[in-house]
């Protein structure tokens, strides 16, 4: 298939993955130890399309159609949303909202991707009632899996009252860090002081900061965080990959040679 003399490839075809591997497998993103095994499934009119991507020591070592043995997570979405992500045609928050996570041994069902998976944890029910511990927190995570992610969490009398992707109008506290740092803090791999030393920020009145610190460091809240699976760190690794300049350049070149799927208006031959 040619257009203006340039060879083009249907999105998610065997030929497309061959070009994707050729262009990206030599790109290092400078994060030794950064590893993720991702299985994807896109629903389409012709049936599900399944593909795998493996990051090992900050490098794409596998990217192909088919199934992956022992993936960290399986991400399911519809084909139109997958195509929008490939084009980077949506912001990071909306991109994440269109994905469902499946992880072996975790609740046995699809769940929202991290950080929304926290809302699925029954351990949050154990948070004690603390009269007056009421506040709204806005989190801004850079380098999400497909761009920056906004997330809000509201507490009423010490209990989680609501959480959602997106921004709230007048938060009491605003916390900023990378998506991967968020996941690493939740898993206990790093602490808040490590995040602050690496450029993260937490802003708000002293009283609100004290309330947030007390709740988020409580045994009950930490138990809920630790009960979450690997989707946070896995998607964080994908985010670090997607912001690496060399990899971004490869994706832009690949997109320029890509036709959308036929059912979304792509070329048919």
In whole angstroms, what is the distance from residue 115 CA to residue 93 CA? 11
Which pair of structure tokens corresponds to residue 47? Answer: 């049936």
* Cβ pair 8, 1 in contact under 8 A: yes
Task: Tell which wins on pLDDT, 172 or 269.
Answer: 172
Q: Which fold has domain 2-112+241-264?
A: Nonspecific Lipid-transfer Protein; Chain A (3.30.1050)
**Assigned architecture for domain 116-231:** 2-Layer Sandwich (3.30)
* Cβ pair 79, 263 in contact under 8 A: yes
DSSP class per residue in 112-132 = PPTTGGGGG-GGGGGPPP-TT
What pLDDT band is residue 3 in, cutting at 50, 70 and 90?
A: very low
Q: What pLDDT is recorded for position 245?
A: 84
**% of the chain with per-residue pLDDT over 90:** 75
Domains 2-112+241-264 and 116-231 share a fold: yes
In this predicted model, what pLDDT tens digit does every residue of 114-132 receive, in sequence order?
Answer: 999 999 999 999 999 999 9
Task: Tell which wins on pLDDT, 59 or 74.
Answer: 74
Tell me the domain boundaries of the chain.
Answer: 2-112+241-264, 116-231
Which pair of structure tokens corresponds to residue 230? Answer: 């690997």
The pTM of this model reads 0.92
């Amino acid at each position: 298939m040619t257009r203006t003399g340039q060879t083009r490839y249907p999105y998610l075809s065997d030929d497309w993955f061959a070009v994707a591997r050729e262009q990206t497998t030599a790109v290092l993103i400078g994060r030794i130890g950064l590893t993720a095994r991702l299985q994807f499934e896109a629903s389409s009119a012709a049936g599900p399309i399944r593909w795998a991507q493996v990051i090992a020591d900050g490098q794409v070592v596998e990217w192909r159609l088919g199934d992956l043995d022992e993936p960290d997570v399986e991400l399911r979405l519809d084909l139109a949303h997958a195509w929008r992500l490939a084009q980077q045609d949506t912001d990071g928050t909306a991109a994440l909202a269109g994905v469902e996570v499946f992880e072996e041994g975790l609740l046995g069902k699809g769940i929202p991707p991290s950080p929304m998976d926290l809302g699925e944890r029954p351990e949050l029910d154990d948070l004690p009632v603390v009269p007056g511990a009421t506040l709204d927190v806005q989190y801004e995570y850079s380098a999400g899996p497909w761009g920056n992610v906004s997330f809000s969490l509201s507490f009423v009398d010490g209990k989680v009252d609501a959480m959602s992707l997106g921004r709230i109008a007048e938060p009491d506290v605003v916390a900023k860090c990378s998506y991967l740092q968020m996941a690493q803090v939740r898993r206990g791999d790093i602490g808040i002081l490590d995040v602050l030393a690496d450029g993260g920020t937490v802003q708000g009145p002293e009283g609100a900061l004290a309330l947030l610190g007390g709740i988020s460091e409580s045994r009950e809240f930490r138990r809920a965080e630790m009960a979450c699976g690997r989707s946070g760190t896995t998607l964080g690794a994908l985010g670090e990959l997607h912001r690496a300049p060399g990899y971004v350049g490869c994706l832009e070149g690949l997109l320029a040679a890509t036709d959308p799927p036929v059912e979304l208006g792509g070329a048919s031959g």
